[in-house]
Amino acid sequence: MLLTSLTAAHDLERAVVVGDDALSRADLVDRAGRFAAGIDGDGPVAVHATASMDTVVAIAGCLLSGVPVVPVPPDSGPDERAHVLRDSGATAWAGELPDGVDLPVVRPGGTALAPREVDPEQVAMLLYTSGTTGAPKGAQLTGRAIAAGLDGLAEVWEWTPDDTVAHGLPLFHVHGLILGVLGSLRLGSRVVHTVKPQPARYAAAGGTLYFGVPTVWNRIVSEPESARALGSARLLVSGSAPLPATLFERIAELTGQAPVERYGMTETMITLSAPVDDRRAGWVGRPIRGAETRLVPAEDGGEEVPDDGESVGRLEVRGPMLFEGYLNRPDANAESWAGDGWFRTGDLAVRDAGGFHRIVGRESTDLIKSGGYRIGSGEIEAALMDHPGVSECAVVGAPDADLGERIVAYVVGEGPADALIDHVASRLSWHKRPRDVVFVNALPRNPMGKVQKKLLGR
């Protein structure tokens, strides 16, 4: 069973806390069982994934009864939501029914269904992930994959039932939902969801493990009193985006410990993490138990990528925590799988002799070939973000008759440009410095908030 702690003998009165709502594990099983009793058929069930106890109950009810669940972001627009419901084949809806959704709403039954024996190879969850183009794709995660990912993290993070996991991340992504909630429901730790990831709420949560993304950590260190309140925690984890080195150092200064950085995707769960006893700014660690990685030359027919901490390659991963493929997308599956279980992440990385990885960008937009070097724009962006005058930035390659491509940085912030160029050159290799800095009022973004680099310079 995926959520093993829910049928364990031990219990806590406030095992699951979401804002002002709290349930023991037994109460959660009862409510989840009554939710499951109201499901007519085998699903999938689309869950309006608000930051609420109702969301936790609905998702637990689906997983305990073997019905696939489709978490739907509450801020989804009507077109995106319609695509997710149509593509997933959702047969019912859980939560407040938005306009335009024509599905029966699950009404909890009066008698709870007992948890069922569920085939671990069955798809347990459909998580929709957006790329740079096209409609979101449904990543099919089995119960076995979710369990393997969580158990591997439990080992590297020394995560036990004695922990209290605290976070305020969305309940429709791997980070907030699977790690932040299902991890505790599997491993037996207490979980506190703060509803909103506000510094004061994190400070009051009493966690031993805190999960956050760089934006959350930046807000926390901007309120030093709240940051210092996390000093009693055992582990602070950052993911989902690169953590600037200065922010890494500021977290360590205020809390007394450096954060752990990790790497993963919707399709792969978390495959890389720094261990508890070796935390390095900008490095996302080694493969967790069961995961493997390889760096493929960034150019077909290129030389093997050496583990020197500098040479860039295409990151591919495999392991039991990977998804089963995209629903209804044979084209995307053919493009994403390299054979023999290897998944093309689309990310560029370097790896050192000790097996530590650093992510340097996305292959589709972030590989710059300049003066014979292959350079990932992500590490240049991370260096720029460490400058106090930079609020946002995006780095691209522009055609250059001499270099092939020259490095151009688009910056929301203050100059002068020479100071930013020198700042990068002082932190990275000389050939990785921007040749041009363009100051802009804002970066072009898609509806999901991702920077559209292809629109820069137009």
The pLDDT value recorded for residue 77 is 82
CB 186, CB 150: distance < 8 Å: yes
Contact 127, 172 (CB under 8 A): yes
- How far apart are alpha carbons 428 and 307 in whole angstroms? 18
Report d(CA 130, CA 124) in Å as an integer.
Answer: 20
- Which carries the bigger pLDDT value, residue 235 or residue 453? 235
**CA pair distance 343, 385, nearest whole angstrom:** 30
Structure confidence at residue 60 as a pLDDT band (50, 70, 90) = very high
Residue 165's pLDDT is 98
pLDDT at residue 240, as a whole number: 83
Q: What pLDDT score does 302 carry?
A: 64
Of the listed ranges 15-29, 259-273, 364-378, the least confidently predicted one is 364-378
Of the pLDDT bands very low, low, confident and very high (cuts 50, 70, 90), residue 458 is: low
Residues 82-131 have pLDDT tens digits of 999 999 999 999 999 999 999 999 999 999 999 999 999 999 999 998 75
Distance of CA 430 to the CA centre of its chain: 32
Rounded to a whole number of angstroms, the CA Rg of the chain reads 22
Percent of the chain past pLDDT 90, that is, above it, reads 75
pLDDT at residue 141 in the model: 98
The pLDDT, as a whole number, for residue 76 is 84
Per-residue b/e over 241-275, b at no fewer than 16 CB within 10 Å? ebbbbebbebbeebbebbbbbbbbbbbbbbbbbbe
How high is the pLDDT of residue 244?
A: 85
pLDDT at 148 over 60: yes
Mean pLDDT calculated for residue range 44-52: 98
Least confident stretch, 70-79, 180-189, 225-234, 322-331 = 70-79
| Across 21-36, average pLDDT | 96
pLDDT for the residue numbered 301 = 60
CB 270 within 8 A of CB 174: yes
- Token pair 């997933």: residue: 88
Q: What is the pLDDT of residues 403-421, one digit of tens each?
A: 888 999 999 998 899 999 9
Residue 327 banded pLDDT, cuts 50, 70, 90? very high
Instruction: Supply the mean pLDDT for the chain.
Output: 92
Answer whether the bond into residue 416 is a cis peptide, omega within 30°.
Answer: yes
Contact at 8 Å (CB) between 210 and 202? yes
Q: What pLDDT score was predicted for residue 133?
A: 53
∠ CA 332-333-334, nearest 5°, is 90
- In this prediction, residue 428 carries a pLDDT of 83
- Domains in the chain and their CATH numbers? 4-196 (3.40.50.12780), 259-361 (2.30.38.10), 371-455 (3.30.300.30)
Contact (Cβ atoms closer than 8 angstroms) between residue 181 and residue 211: no
**pTM (2 decimals)?**
0.85
CA distance 322 to 324: 7
User: Would the pLDDT of 293 be above 80?
Assistant: yes
Question: DSSP per residue over 61-78, as a string?
Answer: HHHHHT--EEEE-TT--H
Query: How far from 395 is each of 92, 242, 371, 387, 433, CA to CA, in Å?
Result: 44, 14, 16, 15, 10
